[in-house]
Structure 1
Amino acid sequence: MRATTLAILLGTTAAVAGFPSAATAQDRPDQKAFFEIYKELVETNTTLSVGSCTQAAAQIGARLKAAGYADSDITYFSVPDHPKEGGLVAVLKGSNARMKPMLLLAHLDVVEAKREDWTRDPFKLVEDGGYYYARGSTDDKAQAAIWSDAMIRFKTGGYHPKRTIKLALTCGEETTFAFNGAEWLAKNKPDLIAAEFALNEGGGGLLTEQGERKTLFLQVGEKAAQNFTLLATNPGGHSSQPTPDNAIYQLSDALKAVQGYEFPIRFTDTTRAFFAGNAAAQPGPMGDAIKRLLADPTDTAADAVVSANKTFHSVLRTTCVATLVNAGHAENALPQRAIANVNCRIFPGETVDATLAKLKELAGDKVTVTANQPIRPTAVPPTLDPKILGPAKTVAAKHFPGVPILPMMSTGATDGVFLEAVGIPVYGVPGMFIASDINRAHGLNERMNVKSLYDGRDYLFDVVKAYAG
């Protein structure tokens, strides 16, 4: 679930003109080998409805074995009631037992895609106009292919890292109610994925409308996604004799109360650094308002200016929004039932229970509020660790000179929340630049900029080696 914060258009950050064309992006033999991994992965349907992550994991496992990994280096996992939602963990042993392992995380599953809605077959990789088009071309099979390719290149190239490198390819990230491989590993096989830190999706880079590199983002923290049900019930009756006690009106009043409530502003070290960078980059009323808000989070006038940017608004606080409504049973009857789903993105450190308590308070005594299963863990913000930020910036200066890196907190959610719950800090790596439309991830005609993919692959290969030693 590629982080929506990447859609921010920062006003005065550096750009690199003359972004190279896609024509030269696949010339090297190693790039052609990578493309075969990427193509096979993208064209393997891994939707929840008809696809198989287990098949995709087996294909990657076969490639790892062909590269020289032993059976003991590769662990496949699934559960009997979800046989097609499996994944794998692969291990490249390090030479220094005193260094804790690092984990490369990516999810294999993709959002559903209907052929009749797409311009092209969503499960056939097509290159057109400097882009690869297909479901999962960005989210998250680009990352999964890059990590898998790196593990293969490490083995075939004779690279011996000091730090053990682990790869986890999982299923279930895109669907709340699906079997989630990252959660299963964290709960059932924590030793298998134990690591000092994990590198995941969520970071990246932003391209201008002209295709110029604008900003790199390192994701340091994310919100926790949680759904809640609001329910109003009533005996109902004939619509010719209405009463004030109406389930639809009661639910409407509760939803309006939720709409009108602003959760308090919170800052983590990451979001404080993020806004400080934006204040410096945006002179004028916005930059001034950000500075005032950093100094005083209760400054409502500054909040009004900053929160006019919908992404800034969401980075500042927990948000809750109605996403589904169903009410009534007949056009000539008073409603007996009115129900709504409210989707909340909970700020790191804040809990589901506290959010539920606030929603109950807002809804009043005529509407019941419950937290939907599954209950997500409390989001734990990683630290702005120089051991993580330093190599990311150093390697970026080589690959993307002149492009600044900002730490950010995602307003979305990834599988990182499950690893953080068992003590593994998770960072969304920069490297792959995308357009302001988030490469249409989750939507129609999802696409990946060809040059960005290969440049990102080179960057991420080097940055993993920088961390591994």
Structure 2
Amino acid sequence: MAEDVVDLCAALLRFDTTNHGRGESAGEREAAEFVAAHLDAVGVPATVLEPAPRRGNVLARVPGTEPDLPALLVQAHLDVVPADAAEWSVPPFAGVEHDGYLWGRGAVDMKDMIAMVLAVLGGWSREGRRPRRDIVLAFVADEEDRGEFGAHWLVDHHADFFAGCTTAIGESGGFSYPVGGHRVYPVGTAERGTSHLRLTATGRAGHGSRRNDDNAVAKLLAALARVAAIEHPVRLTPTVRAFVERVGAALDVPVDLADVDATIARFGPAARLVENTVRNSVTPTVLRAGYKVNVIPGSATADLDVRTLPGTVDDLLASIDAALGPDVRREFLADEPPVQAPIDSPWFDAMAAALRAEDPGAVVVPYCLGGGTDAKAFTRLGIDCYGFAPLSLPPGYDYRAMPHGVDERVPVEGLRFGTRVLDRFLSS
């Protein structure tokens, strides 16, 4: 059985766990069984649960030496987004090591994290070590779609398994990001909410050659134009404010919270980490109307990808409703609220300390994710969720282009660094 983190990650990458969405998936079963077998082999009994055929989830608990302490949840997902082999330099499910990188779909999103956790547990088993507190493990299906076969299903049907967990770590945080000669490590302490909306306009169907002042398509397009014209004000959440202030201090850049856009513009590459999280956003993504060019349809629909910051949801929806007017109705396709965990907490301090122990120059800052993760499911149980899947990344490596991108890969030395950081954090 593989013990080295690189071998573990390569083995995981060779399982095709492609999630096509809409319930269509290659399935996580074989990857889940591999993970469960590895856990069993290092003395951590694991359970595989399938809410639907082949949609495997792995649950396990590592007993701590002080079981009265609150437990920590470590959560990661087994599924990956599709990869077109014709676009890749290497086969996306070959788990190839080349030029100091391990290549494959899921290399950073997020089979690397699973491999690092397994490597840490393997080391503990060989050395006879245990963590202070119970570590609860959830390696889940379906994160790349709606979580109905993964995290959300587990929260709905197996909440008792997470009893005692007050804090969780998961994806999207703890990676190094070069900025102005510094290595910034953003730790996820918040996520924007995800509200997918469908707009529907109705009108009078008829022949395309005839005058029609009750045209559903025209109504919808006018409403979309008004929605797109909404000016979203800067809303500084505690996480984003702390990010701006701490990055500004590290870079010796003047911070003007009255003009956040100008401040962020002076951050160089670090601007990409924050520019999408100082405001809400409303993005039209899908249009549907009509079936024949000379027929005016009786209805037209549009889908909106709406991302919301903590404390802003009601105001944003009110502004959308005002823009839509009386002729267009809206409904939720998905509605997941924003996530926020404490910044000034022993947990954040422990993550920062583990990073600095391996990289004394690390500038550790809180970070708000523009998108979403399974943290939105586990937050429903009252668990504070952090993005902490540590990696050390070499110069010129564009981490943000890797998830869901072509030629996804993770640096081998970055994996080893992340394993050491996780060992320090989980042990203490």
- Indicate the residue corresponding to 1:404 in structure 2: 363
SS in 1 for 2:151: helix
One of 29, 49, 71 as aligned partner of 1:77: 49
- Indicate the residue corresponding to 1:375 in structure 2: 335
Q: Give the conservation status (yes or no) of the 8 Å contact 1:350–1:379.
A: no
Residue 39 (str. 1) matches residue 10 (str. 2): yes
- Tell me by how many angstroms 1:437 deviates: 4.8
1:70-119 CA distances to partner (integer Å, 9 max, x unpaired)?
xxx3222122xx22212111111112232111111101111112223333
Residue 66 (str. 1) matches residue 41 (str. 2): yes
Alignment of 1:235-250 (within 5 A): 235-250=204-219
One of 61, 82, 91 as aligned partner of 1:91: 61
One of 380, 405, 413 as aligned partner of 1:451: 413
- Tell me by how many angstroms 1:238 deviates: 2.1
> Against the structure 1 CA distance between its residues 33 and 437, is the aligned structure 2 distance closer, same or farther, given a 3 Å change threshold?
closer
Write the distance in 1 (CA, Å) between the matches of 2:67 and 2:413.
Answer: 38
What letter matches 1:65 in structure 2? D
Residue 359 (str. 1) matches residue 320 (str. 2): yes
Q: Give the conservation status (yes or no) of the 8 Å contact 1:349–1:380.
A: no
- Indicate the residue corresponding to 2:256 in structure 1: 291
What letter matches 2:47 in structure 1? T
- Indicate the residue corresponding to 2:196 in structure 1: 227
Runs (5+) with no aligned partner, structure 1? 1-29, 294-301
- Tell me by how many angstroms 1:292 deviates: 3.4
> Against the structure 1 CA distance between its residues 350 and 77, is the aligned structure 2 distance closer, same or farther, given a 3 Å change threshold?
farther
- Indicate the residue corresponding to 2:268 in structure 1: none
SS in 2 for 1:83: coil
The farther-off stretch of 316-325 and 355-364 is 355-364
- Tell me by how many angstroms 1:134 deviates: 0.9
Residue 425 (str. 1) matches residue 397 (str. 2): no
Write the distance in 2 (CA, Å) between the matches of 1:78 and 1:237.
Answer: 49
- Tell me by how many angstroms 1:350 deviates: 4.2
- Tell me by how many angstroms 1:36 deviates: 2.5
Q: Give the conservation status (yes or no) of the 8 Å contact 2:170–2:389.
A: no
- Indicate the residue corresponding to 1:16 in structure 2: none
- Indicate the residue corresponding to 1:185 in structure 2: 154
Q: Give the conservation status (yes or no) of the 8 Å contact 1:207–1:436.
A: no
Write the distance in 2 (CA, Å) between the matches of 1:387 and 1:313.
Answer: 27
Runs of 4+ in 1 over 6 A off after TM superposition: none
- Tell me by how many angstroms 1:67 deviates: 1.8
SS in 2 for 1:205: coil
> Against the structure 1 CA distance between its residues 454 and 331, is the aligned structure 2 distance closer, same or farther, given a 3 Å change threshold?
same
- CA RMSD of superposed structures (Å): 2.5
Count of matched residue positions in the alignment of Structure 1 and Structure 2: 415
- Tell me by how many angstroms 1:198 deviates: 0.7
What letter matches 1:278 in structure 2? V
SS in 2 for 1:221: strand
- Indicate the residue corresponding to 1:414 in structure 2: 373
Residue 391 (str. 1) matches residue 388 (str. 2): no
Q: Give the conservation status (yes or no) of the 8 Å contact 2:178–2:184.
A: no
1:265-305 CA distances to partner (integer Å, 9 max, x unpaired)?
3333222211112333556xxx55x5232xxxxxxxx2553
What letter matches 1:63 in structure 2? H
- Tell me by how many angstroms 1:312 deviates: 3.7
SS in 2 for 1:292: coil
